[in-house]
Amino acid sequence: MLTSPPAIVQARAILPADTQAAGPPSGRFIGPANGVRPPFAHQPVQGFSGLVPLADGRLLATSDNGYGTPETSADALLRVYTLRPDWRRGTLKAEAYVTLSDPGHHVPWTIVREFTPDRQLTGMDFDPESLARAADGTLWLGDEFGPFLLHVDKGGQLLEAPIPVPEPGDPARMLASPQSPLYEEATPMRLLAALRTEVERSGGHRAPICSPDHHLVVDGDPAIGQDDRPAGASKLFDARLLATAGFATVPWTVNDPVRGRQLVAHGVFGLISDRPDVFMGLAPEIQGHRGARDLRPENTLPSFEAALDAGVPVLETDCHLTRDGVLVLSHEGLLEAPFIRRADGTKLQPKPIRDVGFDELQAAYVADGLQPTRAAQRNDRAASPVAVAFAKAHGLADPYVMPSLDQLFDFVEAYASFYSKDPKRVAVARRVAFNLETKGRPYAFRGEPPSDAAALARAIAAHARSHGMAARTTIESFDFAALLATAREQPAIGTVALFGDWTVQAGGDGTNLEPRAGKAAWLAGMQWPYRYNYASAPPTVPQSGGIEGLALAPDGRLIACLEKGLVGDPIHRTWLQAYDPRTHRWTGERWAYPLDARATSIGEIALTDATHGFAIERDGSQGDLHGFKRIFRFTLGPTLTKAPAVDLLRLQRHGRPYAFPYECPEGLAVLDAHHLLVIADNNFPFGHARRPGRPDDSELVRLMVP
């Protein structure tokens, strides 16, 4: 309990909540709050977390990640603002800013603006919560997601790779929060965001769809099935978080209705299934996998007919190029049993599709092979009247010839004509979309040369455009070269990012998450941290528990403070550690900071000299005068000691009680031993401490401390 008189608010300055700075639209991944309806035309100037006084009375202040989470903040640019308080008028003005960026490619994981020339950083990439200015004018920021230290020049450009933080007492082990971009779980969202950026730079508006093997989707079941990753592995794709970030999840291949309902309950938008007739109505988007391959031989006109009969909104299929450049529909790149037979009854000799001309392919081969494992599969021509009629009308040798992509587009029109008196079937054919996969590998495999996925994607796009189907087409691929080519060159056509795990697939199809040096080839150079996940390396810092405080010592060392204690620590404390920029090393110095029983986190730290400073402790309340928002003096010695200094809910201003009841008082600067600056992270538009139902302004106060 504080026994000294309340601190005096000598002056305060306000930056209005709705202040915006130049920049692209922002806030599209959050909903309305406190009467504010996003998105915003530009970049809100808000969320100040770090504070550095300048000699001329101005301040440097860092904005945090934007809207609270990486999922919601891909369109929030990270900036350091120059603020000028006018204490007489009580106003705070943002005079200038620098945007953080990484043109030197120091960040080793994928960022939102990965392929842009400037590589500006966003709130999906980092969450800078504290700021220090070195003697050479460069800036240091403490990041909460990693956690990491970030070092930027005066213009905001990263000067070196993000610096991880060691575990207190074990310099060989680095701390990790659940939001660390180094985890597998964090990677899909970032790859999709980089792809979306390319779509939007090209003038497109269709966000990529995430399509993982369904075994890899978070489903609420910690058990690992026999077809799943081995024991100790984890689920990587959280459909709910991806949806918050603007990405729909449509996993493959789901044939068990119980499993389908489980996945839908955990946020997937759709399902790819071999039995679409069973799954219709279970999710907004049911895709017929290779048509309806549990009912008819896959990737044939009868298979697509069965899917249309079920009323699917999307037909999913695979594309290969013949020797003469015709796109044909086949999952396999090789003509071999059990799917294919010779039309003349002679023995089938396996042959790559790329070595066969299209006319020969349709004249000499029939793709009507039944699979014993698919009990409901039939190839009776009488069961496929539209395919029979189409084959006759187009001079095909058999309804089960391997169709071209052009023939699939024409077949859908023929289906509508065939059932012209059935409005329901006509509507299905008129709206059905096409999810078309590029097949092949970006490296040589089992004697086959690498495939050019980008060229295949261009061919698919050209055919879709020629049939007027671009708006109804998505191109899916495990190879991100195809997706990037589509995003950049054909933004009207959607993209679907396929993900498959090497272990799940046993080295077969769909293995772009591989434990091999060539894995980046699948991902167009973007990296995948294979097997570094929650199961193999559990988070050691809680969410929102990374670096929250950062102070520059007189000798140039940086003192970094974690917002919260370590996971599993039975003692209510957090940690301070020292980093020496001159040696580029953590010094090994560490201090346990004992948190007050009512505090849930640290808001900021600031030093007055080499061994003394102030720290903000807080709880999660806002607008509550019975909450906990206090500043403590601390001393760095063999052990850290502290004493209460300021109760931010018991201040005085103009001789009257005054409170600073914000959820996050986060910016703290020392003017001298008895004068402090404190600024609130207003959490725009969510903070409403001052006026319930209206967003908080950014408030800066100058305190005289007893």
Whether the Cβ atoms of residue 144 and residue 602 lie closer than 8 Å to each other: no
* 461-to-373, 439, 468, 606 alpha-carbon distances in Å: 34, 15, 10, 57
Whether the Cβ atoms of residue 473 and residue 436 lie closer than 8 Å to each other: yes
Q: 10 Å Cβ neighbour count for 488?
A: 16
According to the model, what pLDDT value does residue 258 have? 94
Structure tokens at 188: 């899909």
Q: Could you tell me the fold of the domain covering 8-183+537-704? A: Tachylectin-2; Chain A (2.115.10)
- Please state the length of the chain: 706
Helix 423-431 / helix 301-310 crossing angle, nearest 10 deg: 120
According to the model, what pLDDT value does residue 232 have? 38
Report which residue type is found at 396: L
* Distance separating alpha carbons of residues 647 and 257, to the nearest angstrom: 57
Structure tokens at 337: 């049993």
Q: Between β-strands 494-499 and 473-477, what pairing exists: parallel, antiparallel or unpaired?
A: parallel
Could you tell me which residues come within 8 angstroms of residue 536 by beta carbon, excluding any fewer than 6 positions away? 232, 233, 234
Whether the Cβ atoms of residue 271 and residue 254 lie closer than 8 Å to each other: yes
Report which residue type is found at 166: P
Report which residue type is found at 211: S
Which of 283, 291, 268, 301 has its CA nearest to residue 434?
291
Could you tell me which residues come within 8 angstroms of residue 193 by beta carbon, excluding any fewer than 6 positions away? 74, 110, 112, 124, 245
Sequence ranges of the domains in the chain? 8-183+537-704, 187-333+403-522
According to the model, what pLDDT value does residue 514 have? 80
Q: How does pLDDT run across 261-311, given as a tens digit for each residue?
A: 999 999 999 999 999 999 999 999 999 999 999 999 999 999 999 999 999
The beta strands (E) that lie in 512-611 are given as 547-552, 558-562, 573-580, 585-594, 601-607
* Distance separating alpha carbons of residues 47 and 350, to the nearest angstrom: 63
Average pLDDT over residues 125-149: 97
Average pLDDT over residues 223-238: 58
Identify the three-state secondary structure at position 304: helix
CA end-to-end span of the chain: 15
pLDDT band at residue 219 using 50, 70 and 90 as cut-offs:
very high
Identify the three-state secondary structure at position 240: helix
Q: Residue 227 burial (CB < 10 Å; 0-12/13-18/19+)?
A: exposed
Q: Give CA torsion, residues 250, 326, 481, 203, to 10 deg.
A: -80
225 pLDDT higher than 50: no
Q: How does pLDDT run across 658-672, given as a tens digit for each residue?
A: 999 999 999 999 999
pTM: 0.95
The beta strands (E) that lie in 637-688 are given as 640-647, 651-653, 656-658, 664-672, 675-681
* Distance separating alpha carbons of residues 194 and 525, to the nearest angstrom: 12
According to the model, what pLDDT value does residue 229 have? 46
**612 pairs with which residues across the strands?**
635
474 pLDDT higher than 90: yes
Angle at alpha carbon of residue 129, lines to 125 and 131, rounded to 5°: 110
According to the model, what pLDDT value does residue 2 have? 52
224 pLDDT higher than 80: no
State the DSSP H helix or E strand holding residue 276, giving kind and residue range, or none if neither: helix 276-279
DSSP assignment, residue 564? S
How does 334-359 read in b/e, with b if 16+ C-beta sit within 10 Å? bbeeebbbeeeeeeeeeebbbebebe
* Distance separating alpha carbons of residues 259 and 257, to the nearest angstrom: 5
Structure tokens at 564: 């919260």
According to the model, what pLDDT value does residue 13 have? 98
Q: Residue 675 burial (CB < 10 Å; 0-12/13-18/19+)?
A: middle
- In the numeric block, the tokens 């914000």 are attached to 662
According to the model, what pLDDT value does residue 663 have? 96
Which of 544, 679, 517, 520 has its CA nearest to residue 600?
544
Which of 508, 544, 643 has its CA nearest to residue 68?
544
Structure tokens at 444: 């040589």
How does 520-554 read in b/e, with b if 16+ C-beta sit within 10 Å? bbbbbebebbbbbbbbebebbbbebbbbbbbbbbe
Q: How does pLDDT run across 567-625, given as a tens digit for each residue?
A: 999 999 999 999 999 999 999 999 999 999 999 999 999 999 999 999 999 999 999 99
Q: 10 Å Cβ neighbour count for 284?
A: 13
According to the model, what pLDDT value does residue 235 have? 87
Q: How does pLDDT run across 333-373, given as a tens digit for each residue?
A: 999 888 899 999 999 999 999 999 999 999 999 999 999 99
Q: Residues of the chain with pLDDT > 90: what percent?
A: 89
* Distance separating alpha carbons of residues 667 and 50, to the nearest angstrom: 5
Q: How does pLDDT run across 297-336, given as a tens digit for each residue?
A: 999 999 999 999 999 999 999 999 999 999 999 999 999 8
H-type helices in 290-397, by residue range?
301-310, 358-364, 385-393
Please provide the average confidence, as pLDDT, over all residues in the chain: 94
pLDDT band at residue 223 using 50, 70 and 90 as cut-offs:
low
176 pLDDT higher than 80: yes
Which of 195, 81, 4, 6 has its CA nearest to residue 700?
81
Q: Phi, psi (5° rounding) for residue 490?
A: -135, 65
Which of 525, 554, 555 has its CA nearest to residue 191?
525
pLDDT band at residue 519 using 50, 70 and 90 as cut-offs:
low
* Rg of the chain in Å (alpha carbons): 30
* 257-to-54, 226, 253, 260 alpha-carbon distances in Å: 63, 18, 12, 5
* Distance separating alpha carbons of residues 573 and 642, to the nearest angstrom: 12
Structure tokens at 693: 């139902």
Q: Does domain 187-333+403-522 have CATH number 3.20.20?
A: yes
Which of 706, 700, 703, 705 has its CA nearest to residue 85?
700
